[in-house]
Structure 1
Amino acid sequence: MSQGDERGYGGSEPGGRTDDAYSTLGGTRQTRTRLPGGDDGDGHGRRPARSSRSLIMAVGVVVLLIAAIAFANQGGGGGSDGGSAKKSDGAGAGAGPTAATGTKPVQGKNGTIASGFAHDEQGAQSAAANYAVALGSADMFDKTKRDGILEATHDPAVVAALKADTGKAYSAGFLTNVGLNEDGSTPSGLTFVSRTIPAGTRTTAQGEDTATVEVWCTGLVGMAGQGSTKPVSASWFTITEKLKWVAGDWKIESSSQAEGPTPVNGDNRASTADEIAGAVEGYGGFTYAR
């Protein structure tokens, strides 16, 4: 969805990330309309005291959110939920089955990102989940790839501002803070991990050409490999995306991130750095459909 400051998406949404360098926007968190570099949200709330290393690790999944929030703060991103949008009723707000809807949710792709989503509620949910994955990926730490992701997932009207905001969020200082080199490359012998994995989605508002979708996610961020001082850790957060139907597809107009809901940790044995690196390199991601 960024970067210690970019983690909070500042705004009215509760539980926004404000202290983590990692957040949904690629490492920044904030609660309302800020980007993952200061908007954190993923962050990527109430937080227990934690070491500086833990703070940095926590910042990892919300860079994009920070960018979106920052734009919303300066541009007043309140228009997408306008008069045509309606709050979903009690039934719509509840959890729905993941069975096939009968409508093909994805028609094509934009680079590596799914595109051509159905012009309905399930299409908006599918778009929101796929965009959350892209915005929380390790590619967000590379400027060229990050700009491409922003173009593929956002309303063209907000892309220029987001690029400028995320460029500031992913500063050389932020990159070195998370263990990368100043240019965003990964140190030799290590594997950088930044992944967002949706656990569920729900629509909170739906209009003919607008939708607000919440994506409940878990995220992984850190450096895997022998000698890593920033081990891969997991976090839970909820990303709220305000979507707009633009040129035949759903695009993000603004987004924010809040911490949790977070389940109790299990008693699984923590894997070694090499095991984590092997899993990241051996298991690809998914295209999410609803």
Structure 2
Amino acid sequence: MNPGDDGSYPDYDSPTGQTRTRLPDNDPYGGAPRRPTRSSSRSLVTVVGVVVLLIAAIAFANRGDHPSTDTASDKGNRPTPSSTAASGTRPVDTKSTTGIPSGFAHTEQGAQSAAANYAVVLGSADMFNTTRRHAIVDALYAPDVAAARQSALDSAYSGEKLLSNIGLTKDGAAPEGQTFVSRAIPVGTKVTSSGADTATVEVWYTSLFGLSGDASKNPVTESWYTTTYLLKWAGNDWKISSDQQKEGPVPVGRDQTASTADQMTKAVEEYGGFTYAR
């Protein structure tokens, strides 16, 4: 899950927008028969409670001061069919010492590429590790807001109660035998406003979040979000001045059988992420 100005993200992973799905007859993480209805209900309530808590924390951290673009009525801002197609621009091939893509072009396309990659980094499992989180914030946020964002995100990601509810240790690590999954996968980007050295970019993405393992009480789930980034050109790259997250748009889920814990863990370990370009 991803964060904002006066304080929210791990809207880590901040899951929501759930649709009704037919569950398989067997437990997808163990192959054992389904538990009695009463036990399943209790587990569902636990998972929902964790999700709500996480969303609230991230929402608070990601709250921004810039006005929402939802009420914009200017038809001139609507994208044309060609604007939603891939631009063909190659991704950046430089990365900072933190392993984060950098060196984006000083253009609208560059701002969109930066925002997409920043959404991935801010939605990663690294945000639950204090050292990595601090390096990420220093690399992505503008110098004049980095300290404030650091404090807000520390509060959102480091609470022992939150980590415990997610199933992580106080250091943000997964229990032995389980794999912590937190990934953001951008679906599209949109520039809502831009200037010579500023750009407001919306990133629509899906997020995977949870613990993969036979003993997991918080299996990996999928959710959808849109984060608005206010970017400015600083230090020869795009930096985040503020960010604000909201839920959706959420597609209708297909009636598919959930994978086993082993299958999910193997996929997470074997399938790497991407560097995104608009």
Same fold (TM over 0.5): yes
Residue-by-residue CA offset, 1:144-191 (whole Å, 9 max, x unaligned): 000111111111111111111111122111111100011212110000
Q: Secondary structure at the match of 2:47?
A: helix
* Whole-angstrom distance in 2 between the partners of 1:52 and 1:41: 17
Asked if the contact 2:213/2:261 (under 8 Å) is kept, the reply is yes
Asked if the contact 1:201/1:215 (under 8 Å) is kept, the reply is yes
Determine the structure 1 residue equivalent to 2:137: 150
Instruction: Return closer, same or farther for 1:65/1:158 CA change in 2, 3 Å cut-off.
Output: farther
Determine the structure 2 residue equivalent to 1:251: 239
Residue type matched to 2:146 in 1?
A: V
Asked if the contact 1:42/1:238 (under 8 Å) is kept, the reply is no
Shift in Å, 1:90: 3.7
Instruction: Return closer, same or farther for 1:44/1:248 CA change in 2, 3 Å cut-off.
Output: farther
Residue-by-residue CA offset, 1:176-224 (whole Å, 9 max, x unaligned): 1100011212110000000000011111111111101110000000000
Q: TM-score, normalised by structure 2?
A: 0.79
Instruction: Return closer, same or farther for 1:63/1:151 CA change in 2, 3 Å cut-off.
Output: farther
Residue type matched to 1:289 in 2?
A: A
* Whole-angstrom distance in 1 between the partners of 2:62 and 2:240: 8
My pick for the range that moved more, 105-114 or 254-263, is: 105-114
Asked if the contact 1:24/1:41 (under 8 Å) is kept, the reply is yes
Name structure 1 gaps, 5 residues minimum. 1-22, 82-86
Within the alignment, does 1:213 sit opposite 2:201 as a pair?
yes
Asked if the contact 1:155/1:251 (under 8 Å) is kept, the reply is yes
Within the alignment, does 1:267 sit opposite 2:255 as a pair?
yes
Instruction: Return closer, same or farther for 1:58/1:282 CA change in 2, 3 Å cut-off.
Output: farther
Asked if the contact 2:117/2:275 (under 8 Å) is kept, the reply is yes
Shift in Å, 1:286: 0.3
Instruction: Return closer, same or farther for 1:281/1:107 CA change in 2, 3 Å cut-off.
Output: closer
Q: Report matched runs for 1:65-104 at 5 Å.
A: 66-69=60-63, 72=64, 77-78=65-66, 89-90=76-77, 92=79, 95-101=83-89
Structure showing greater relative contact order (alpha-carbon pairs closer than 8 Å, 6 or more residues apart): 2
Residue type matched to 2:161 in 1?
A: G
Name structure 2 gaps, 5 residues minimum. 20-43
Q: How many residues align?
A: 247
Within the alignment, does 1:197 sit opposite 2:185 as a pair?
yes
Asked if the contact 1:191/1:224 (under 8 Å) is kept, the reply is yes
* Whole-angstrom distance in 1 between the partners of 2:56 and 2:226: 10
Larger radius of gyration: 2
Q: Secondary structure at the match of 2:103?
A: strand
Shift in Å, 1:91: 5.3
Residue type matched to 1:138 in 2?
A: A
| RMSD over equivalenced CA pairs, Å | 2.9
Q: Percent identity?
A: 45
Q: TM-score, normalised by structure 1?
A: 0.76
Q: Secondary structure at the match of 1:35?
A: coil
Asked if the contact 1:193/1:222 (under 8 Å) is kept, the reply is yes
Q: Report matched runs for 1:27-106 at 5 Å.
A: 34-36=7-9, 40=11, 43=14, 51-57=45-51, 66-69=60-63, 72=64, 77-78=65-66, 89-90=76-77, 92=79, 95-101=83-89, 105-106=91-92
* Whole-angstrom distance in 2 between the partners of 1:144 and 1:254: 21
Determine the structure 2 residue equivalent to 1:108: 94
Instruction: Return closer, same or farther for 1:229/1:196 CA change in 2, 3 Å cut-off.
Output: same
* Whole-angstrom distance in 1 between the partners of 2:164 and 2:95: 32
Shift in Å, 1:54: 2.5
Which of 139, 162, 167 pairs up with 2:126? 139
Q: Report matched runs for 1:268-283 at 5 Å.
A: 268-283=256-271
* Whole-angstrom distance in 1 between the partners of 2:55 and 2:183: 7
My pick for the range that moved more, 58-67 or 125-134, is: 58-67
Shift in Å, 1:43: 3.9
Which of 116, 130, 135 pairs up with 1:129? 116
